[in-house]
Structure 1
Amino acid sequence: MIATVVWGTGNVGRAAIRAVEAHPALKLADVIVHHPDKVGRDAGELGGLGHRLGIAASDDIEAVLAAGHRAVVYAATGDIRPDEALADITRAVRSGAVVVTPALYPLYDHRSAPPEFREPVLQAIADGGGSLFVSGVDPGWGNDVLPLLISGLGTTIDAIRCQEIFDYSTYDQEDSVRNLVGMGHPMDYEPLMLAPSIPTMVWGGQIRLMARALGTELDDIRETMDRRALDTTVTTRTMGEFEAGTQGAVRFEVQGIVEGEPRIVIEHVTRIHASCAADWPTPPDGGDGAHRVIIEGRPRIEVTVEATDEGENRSAGGNATAVGRLVGAIDWLVDAQPGLYDALDVPLRPAVGRLGRKQG
C-alpha cells in the first residue's frame, strides 16, 4: 500500500483523511497540522470519522517528510499564502513524494503558469524525483474533465459554461468568506478575490486548459463582475451575523474569448443567504450548492452535480469530490514517471475496490 501523508486538516484536509483511509491502495501514514491544539490528536478524530486511527497529528514537518512516505495530500490553503504553499509543496516533491493539492491556482494549467511557480516545481522534481498534480477545490473536475467529457457528446458546440452555485452560510472558513470574498463588508470594500485580474489568475488556467483540449485558440480572457447587498440582516450557523446593506452575493465570469465571443466560461454565483440575489441561478432543488455544466449547441446539454458530505452539507460535498479527484490520482501518479501533471494528463478512473466499502 502507498504510505500517504495528509498535510492540513481544515475543510479540505478533513475530507482528505477520509478519502485516503477509504482508498484500498493507500495507507494513511501521517498527518501534519499547524495549530498547536491539534498536535497529538488522532487522525480519525480530525477527519470526522468517529473512531480512532491510531495516528497522532504532528507539526514536525521535517521528521514526517524524512520518513520517506510515498505520497502527500497538501491540504493547507494557498489563498493568502501562495509563496509559503509553494515552498511547502516543493519541499515535499523534493523528498521524492507524489504530491496532490488544490493550493496553487497558477498550476491548474502549468504550461501557462508564471515561471516563478513552474520552475521551482520542475527543479524539485529533478532534484528529488517526486511529482505534482494540482486540481481545483471548487471543484476542478467541474472546470476541466466533466465539461470536456460532455463536449464529446455534441454535434456542434457554440459555448461551454461551467457554473458553481454556492451558499456560503454553511461554510466553515470565515476569514476567506468575509475578507477574501467580501461577504458582510460594505459595498465599497474591495475584497482581494474579486479585484480585477484575480479571477483570471485563479481560473484562467482552467480556461486555457479546456481551450487546449478542444484545439481552440483564445483571443483573450475577460472578466465580468456583479455584486448585491443584503436586503435584511441574516444569521448563519457557522459565521454569525451579516448585516443588511453589506455584500450578500457575488456573480462573476471568467470568459475565454474565441473570435470575439465568450465561448468557454467559468461562472461563480455565491451567496451568504438564499434570499440575496434570488433572480440569479440557483440549485435545481433550492439547496445550498450545485455544480453545473452547460453545452450550448446542438444538442444543448446540461448536467448538474449535487454532492453532500458531513451530514447534508453541500459545501463539504464539493470539497469531498475535489479531494476524491486528487486522492484517486495518487496510485496512478506513483506508477507514472516523475513530473508535473495537469487534469488532461491524469485520468479520472472508476472507484475500483471502493464499492460497498465502509469506514468505521
Structure 2
Amino acid sequence: MTDTTSPAPLRVLQWATGGVGRAAVEAILSHPDLTLVGAWVHSPAKVGRDVGDVLDLGTLGAPCVGTLEEVCGLAPDAVVYAPLVPDEAQVVALLRAGIDVVTPVGWIYPDPARLGAIDAACAEGGSTLHGTGIHPGGITERFPLMLSAVSARVTHVRAEEFSDIRTYGAPDVVRHVMGFGATPEEALASPMAALLGAGFKASVRMVVAELGFDADPRIETLQEVAVATAPIDSPIGPIEPGLVAARRFHWRALVDGEPVVTATVNWLMGEEHLDPPWHFGPEGERFEVEITGDPDVVVTIRGLQPESVAAGLVRNPGIVSTANHCVNAIPAVVAAEPGVRTYLDLPMIAGHPAPHLARGR
C-alpha cells in the first residue's frame, strides 16, 4: 500500500524577536512545511512566556527560552538566527548540537580559511549553516547572477538600494551605529562601514567568483555623507544643520582599477535640506540590479520600501522580506548536506501560496 501521509512539519525556533525575528515568526506560522516550537529571547522578563503573547500574535503554544540548553530541549530541526550582532560561539553551539541554522546576519559567502570552528561544528553535528537575506542577499547575489544569464561579455554588475532611513524602526542603531545626527567626522569613523561591509563584501565576492572576473581580491570600500541644511524631523529627533542626514556606501571589486561588481547603499533622511542635494531620482525609493554587457539589462524592484515613514515604523516590508527569504530557505537547508551552504549550493527557493489558495486546502 502506498503511504500517502504527509511528512511531519519541520520544527523551527526563532532566535531573537526584534523586527526580523517577529516577521520570521509570522512567516513560520504561515509556512505549510514548518511549525514554530519556541523562541530564544534576550530579556529575562520574556523567558517562560508564550512567543505569541510577547509578539501580540495570540497564544501559540511555543515558549520563550533564554539558554542554549533550553533551545536544544525544544528539539528544533532549524533555527532562524537573527540577533542584531552575530556571536559565532552561539552559532557553533547550535550546529554542534545538530541544529541547522539559517541567518541574515552573516556567512553569506564566507572565506573557507576562516571557517575552522564552523566546519568542525557542522561535521560533528551533521548540520548545515546558510547565510541569506535581501540586501545583502537576494538583491546583491541571487538576482544579479540570475539576470546575468540573459547577457554576455559582462563588464559590470551593479546592485543598489535607495531608501528613506526614517522608516527603519531602530533609533539607537540609526543614531549610535549608523551615525545619523552625528558630525561627518564621527559618522565616517563609526563602525557602520565595517559592520555592513562583512555582508556586502561577501556578496561582491560571490558574484566575482561565479562570473569569473579577474578581480583584485581586496574589495574597495567608499563612503560619503550629506548633512542637513535646515532642521530635519526624524524618528531619532531633529537632525540639526551641519549634522549627517544621508549616507552612501559603495563596495567595489576592481579589475585593473575599473569596477566590475558594485554594491551600493543610499540611505537618506528624506530628500529635503541636504548638502550635497541628494535625491532618490524620479523613480523614488527602490532597489536596482543592472548588468552591463550584451545586452545591458536593468531591473527595478519596488515594494520592499514602505509607503510612508509612519507605515514603515509599524511594518517595514524590507525587514519582512529579509525574514521571508530566511524562512523559505529552511526546507532546502534541512535537506542539504552538512556544512556551510550558499545560494550556489541550494536548489531554487520559492515562496508558497496563501493558505486559502494552496493545494489540498
Aligned to 2:13: 5
Is the Cα–Cα contact under 8 Å of residues 16 and 75 in structure 1 kept in the other structure?
Answer: no
1:302 counterpart (290, 298, 305): 298
Aligned to 1:86: 88
Aligned to 1:233: 231
Say yes or no: does 1:68 pair with 2:68.
Answer: no
Query: Structure 1 pair 277/29, CA: closer, same or farther in 2 (3 Å)?
Result: farther
Is the Cα–Cα contact under 8 Å of residues 231 and 245 in structure 1 kept in the other structure?
Answer: yes
Which amino acid is 1:307 matched to? G
Aligned to 1:211: 208
Aligned to 2:252: 255
Aligned to 1:340: 340
Distance 2:159 2:247 in 1: 16
Is the Cα–Cα contact under 8 Å of residues 183 and 248 in structure 1 kept in the other structure?
Answer: yes
**Shift in Å at residue 292 of structure 1?**
1.2
Is the Cα–Cα contact under 8 Å of residues 269 and 280 in structure 1 kept in the other structure?
Answer: no
Distance 1:242 1:310 in 2: 22
Describe the SS at the equivalent of 1:234. Answer: coil
Distance 2:282 2:21 in 1: 29
**Shift in Å at residue 46 of structure 1?**
4.3
Describe the SS at the equivalent of 1:235. Answer: coil
Describe the SS at the equivalent of 2:230. Answer: coil
**RMSD (Å), alpha carbons:** 2.5
**Shift in Å at residue 139 of structure 1?**
4.3
Is the Cα–Cα contact under 8 Å of residues 226 and 276 in structure 2 kept in the other structure?
Answer: no
**Shift in Å at residue 235 of structure 1?**
2.1
Aligned to 1:175: 172
Is the Cα–Cα contact under 8 Å of residues 290 and 296 in structure 2 kept in the other structure?
Answer: yes
Is the Cα–Cα contact under 8 Å of residues 101 and 135 in structure 1 kept in the other structure?
Answer: yes
What do the CA deviations read for 1:21-62 (whole angstroms, capped 9, x no partner)? 11111000011110234334432344464x332323222331
Aligned to 2:47: 39
Is the Cα–Cα contact under 8 Å of residues 229 and 246 in structure 1 kept in the other structure?
Answer: yes
Distance 2:279 2:53 in 1: 37
Distance 1:64 1:239 in 2: 35
Query: Structure 1 pair 15/309, CA: closer, same or farther in 2 (3 Å)?
Result: farther
Distance 1:56 1:174 in 2: 28
Which amino acid is 1:16 matched to? A
Sequence identity, in percent? 28
Is the Cα–Cα contact under 8 Å of residues 100 and 134 in structure 1 kept in the other structure?
Answer: yes
Which amino acid is 1:300 matched to? D
Return the TM-score normalized by structure 2: 0.86
What do the CA deviations read for 1:224-257 (whole angstroms, capped 9, x no partner)? 2211111122222x43332221111111211111
Return the TM-score normalized by structure 1: 0.86
Distance 2:197 2:40 in 1: 31
Which amino acid is 1:210 matched to? V
Query: Structure 1 pair 48/218, CA: closer, same or farther in 2 (3 Å)?
Result: farther
Say yes or no: does 1:244 pair with 2:252.
Answer: no
Give aligned pairs, total: 342
Describe the SS at the equivalent of 2:154. Answer: strand
**Shift in Å at residue 17 of structure 1?**
0.5
Describe the SS at the equivalent of 2:64. Answer: coil
**Shift in Å at residue 218 of structure 1?**
1.2
Distance 1:113 1:281 in 2: 40
Is the Cα–Cα contact under 8 Å of residues 139 and 318 in structure 1 kept in the other structure?
Answer: no
Name the stretch that deviates more: 57-66 or 198-207: 198-207
Query: Structure 1 pair 180/71, CA: closer, same or farther in 2 (3 Å)?
Result: same
Is the Cα–Cα contact under 8 Å of residues 17 and 47 in structure 1 kept in the other structure?
Answer: no
Describe the SS at the equivalent of 2:233. Answer: strand
| Unaligned stretches of 5+ residues in structure 2 | 1-8
Distance 2:122 2:345 in 1: 17
Which amino acid is 2:256 matched to? E
Query: Structure 1 pair 114/269, CA: closer, same or farther in 2 (3 Å)?
Result: farther
Distance 2:28 2:130 in 1: 16
Q: Which has the larger radius of gyration?
A: 2
**Shift in Å at residue 353 of structure 1?**
4.8
Distance 1:357 1:76 in 2: 33
